[in-house]
Amino acid sequence: MEFNDLFNNLHSASDTQGISKSEDVDLDNILCFLANGYAVEYIIVNQRKKVLRFIDPDQFLLRISDNTSVDLYGNIETVNITFDDIVIMLRKFPEETVAFHKKIKLDYLEKLQLYKDDLKKTAAERYLDLLENKPWVMQLIEPEVIASYLNLSKEQYDMLILSIRNVND
């Protein structure tokens, strides 16, 4: 299997390359690909969860520091890429692996920039974006978690929902 095949089709690549495919997620791995299910990335601030982003299937889960964590939702299936897997890939595909790492890093930095840009929007705008782009969030995620993402208290979140419903009626 070629390098591009490995990363363009991680669902089946794990069966042929020895990369572990699992329903047990080990987020201590260097890299984890979310094949099925959903995730919420958050950071602990003042002993409370602050949601950074909601993660759809077919995305990588990267912990950027010891303070960040990920909660998983739904029928979870991951492809875990360990340090040993990366060493093997570097030996077999040295140029492609470096380019792949750069792409993952740039994608993640782009997502962080989108998060920063998102903070400039009002809570109502961010909520409507969630409804449109990530409808699964409203079905799977607790209101307190969504409120955290919107930088609202639970009470403020409830008032926001009521005001949006009143506008739409």
Q: What are the tens digits of pLDDT across the range 63-119?
A: 656 677 888 888 888 877 777 777 777 787 788 777 877 887 887 788 778 878 888
Contact between 61 and 70 under an 8 Å Cβ cutoff? The reply is: yes
Q: How far is residue 52's CA from residue 16's CA, in Å, rounded to a whole number?
A: 34
The larger pLDDT score, comparing residue 78 to residue 9, is at 78
Contact between 77 and 39 under an 8 Å Cβ cutoff? The reply is: no
In the predicted structure, residue 26 carries a pLDDT above the cut 90? no
* Segment 135-157, tens digit of pLDDT: 999 999 999 999 999 999 999 99
Determine what percent of the chain is predicted with pLDDT higher than 90: 27
DSSP string, 96-159: HHHHHHHHHHHHHHHHHHHHHHHTTS-HHHHHHHHHHH-HHHHHHS-HHHHHHHTT--HHHHHH
Q: Which two tokens stand for residue 12?
A: 């089946």
pLDDT at 89 (0 to 100)? 74
Q: How many CB atoms lie within 10 A of CB 78?
A: 26
Q: Which two tokens stand for residue 15?
A: 């069966």
The larger pLDDT score, comparing residue 21 to residue 101, is at 101
